[in-house]
Amino acid sequence: MAATDEQHSKDSGVNGRSVAALVAARAVYAINWLNIGAIYSLIEPDLRGGVAGLGTLTSSFFLGIGLLQVPGGILAAKWGPKKVVVLGILISSISAVGVSLVSSIPEAAALRFFVGVGMAFVFSPSIVIVASYLGHHRSGANVGLFNSAYSVGGIFGLFGWTIIASLTGWRASIALSGAIGVISGILVVFLVPDEHDFTFKVERSKLYSIIKDRRLILLGIGTLSLTTGNNLISAFMTYYLHTSLGVATLVAPLAAALLISMPIFSALIGGREYDRMKKPRLLMLTADLGMAGALVVCSVHNLYAALAGSIFAGIIFGVGLTTAFAAAKDLNKEPKQYDTLAISWVNFLSLFGNFGPPLVFTYLAVTLSYSAAWLGGAGIVVVLLIPLLFLSEGIVRKPS
């Protein structure tokens, strides 16, 4: 009995360190995702791109992170999730360091594409590893934990990095975030045991089954509705407040930081409610409608509306995104080793589609006004939530 207790204690310690390493990597991942939008007002005088330049950087990032979602899931099956997570962290982090050396928006956009490519390899495989430690039956809780880590990192990326960039210059701050990313990858190498780096041969028929699954497609488009609103606020709010409302550089990231900080709590609540209700359509429709409302509030041209819209968007985003990825795992009809691919497919639909909305937003902001741009974003969110009306409730009991 004593030997058993000792082994259990040892396993618990290893599991705790492994989850902590992956959660830390997720937080750093958020910093490298979000800090460009936060400090763009410092970058723009150097690279001279205006709001259109920010739209280009945002779109190129989502092109990279979206395109490689499914290939990342396939590689995780072939090589093991740990190896793919480490590869993704290193690609995104080294590319982030490269951004600090650019001299033009096109150069920065090319490297931001590769930051996105690297991040495409991180999320889904990490969820599967965390689930192997915390229990596959707690889908909502596992995703909620991971999304909360993203929010913690996002606060540093949006607010903390503005301070760092103001003190050290934008180039040094971007290089620093990339270097921290490399360190987080090294921690995953040493703290996550190789025994959990399981592999399996992907059967083409099962892969096609996932890609053709009507419920996963509807869920992915509904998730795109949610992420469109969130990504427009996180990418453009800081620059909008600084250039259009005249908010000081160090204060402007506050709204976007509020957006990101709210899911620290709402993601965990959303995970608990999802595990209790198992009704992804209801939860996702509620979140998407709330996101559209938040963008409408942001269209009112004053600071208080921007803050209120950002807070509300952050609360509902945590609930909705946790629901989306927990449901992707639970709706997958194939054996549980294919959960990574199911999550990757939904993530592909929800991220690749974000390539277009930033370009629409910048066009409306330049030709009409920022109010028109926020309302245009709300319209896109409403259109994209329509497929959720056809998503049937009910969770699949998959084979092991």
Local structure of residue 203 (DSSP, 8 states) = P
* Gyration radius of the chain's alpha carbons: 20
CA distance 325 to 385: 16
| Domain positions in the chain | 11-390
Mean pLDDT of the chain: 84
Residue 301 is predicted with a pLDDT of 93
pLDDT greater than 90 at residue 143: no
* CA distances in angstroms from 209 to 203, 214, 273, 350, listed in the order given: 10, 10, 28, 19
Cβ–Cβ contacts within 10 Å for residue 165, how many? 25
What is the CB-side half-sphere exposure of residue 383 using CA atoms within 13 A? Answer: 9
246 or 127, greater pLDDT: 246
372 or 328, greater pLDDT: 372
Percent of the chain with pLDDT over 90: 39
pLDDT greater than 70 at residue 88: yes
pLDDT greater than 80 at residue 67: yes
pLDDT greater than 90 at residue 222: yes
CA distance 239 to 355: 19
pLDDT greater than 50 at residue 298: yes
Q: What is the pLDDT of residues 245-259, one digit of tens each?
A: 888 777 777 777 777
Average pLDDT (378-400) is 82
Q: What is the pLDDT of residues 33-54, one digit of tens each?
A: 888 888 888 898 899 888 889 8
* CA distances in angstroms from 110 to 115, 116, 173, 357, listed in the order given: 9, 10, 19, 19
* DSSP assignments along 312-373, one per residue: HHHHHHHHHHHHHHHHHHHH--S-GGGHHHHHHHHHHHHHHGGGSHHHHHHHHHHHT-HHHH
Q: Is the dihedral of CA 70, 72, 76, 77 positive or negative?
A: positive
CATH topology for 11-390 is: Growth Hormone; Chain: A; (1.20.1250)
Residue 177 is predicted with a pLDDT of 94
pLDDT greater than 80 at residue 201: no
Listed residue (57, 66, 125) closest to 95, CA to CA: 57
Listed residue (312, 330, 229, 320) closest to 270, CA to CA: 320
Q: What is the pLDDT of residues 263-276, one digit of tens each?
A: 777 877 877 888 88
For the entire predicted model, the pTM comes to 0.80
Say if residues 57 and 112 touch (Cβ distance below 8 Å). yes
Confidence label for 144 from pLDDT (cuts 50, 70 and 90): low
CA distance 288 to 27: 24
Query: What's the start-to-end Cα distance of the chain, in Å?
Result: 30
